[in-house]
Amino acid sequence: MFIHLGGDVVVPLKDIIAIMDLESSNVSQNTREFLQTADDEGFIKKISKNSYKSFILSERDNKTVIYLSPISSVTLLKRSNFLEDISLK
């Protein structure tokens, strides 16, 4: 299964490690430092030129990629059907 992160970016669901709300995550100094370091090292891919609402931590072929998405973390969570999968078990 795949998830659309915005723009023309689609990622396999199995590659996603975390979907985080950007606004609430930036409260933490550690998260800000993590994102700054990731940006400095080229791990961040910006999906659009609009403001970003979430970031998605993923890994594919042992390479970490962080996507900045204009789509909210709640919407991405709904798209992933994660809550439906939990309620079925």
Helix, coil or strand: residue 1: coil
Distance CA 2, CA 12 (A): 4
On whether the CB atoms of residues 47 and 68 are closer than 8 A, the answer is yes
pLDDT category of residue 86 using cuts at 50, 70 and 90: low
Predicted confidence (pLDDT) at residue 83 exceeds the cutoff of 60: no
How much of the chain exceeds pLDDT 70, in percent?
91
φ, ψ (nearest 5 deg) of residue 51:
-65, 150
pLDDT at 9 > cutoff 60: yes
Mean pLDDT, the chain, integer: 88
Q: Which long-range contacts (CB under 8 A, 24 or more apart) does 60-64 make?
A: 60/11, 60/12, 60/15, 64/38
Q: What is the pTM of this model?
A: 0.84
Confidence of residue 88 (pLDDT cuts 50, 70, 90): low
Domain locations in the chain as residue ranges: 2-88
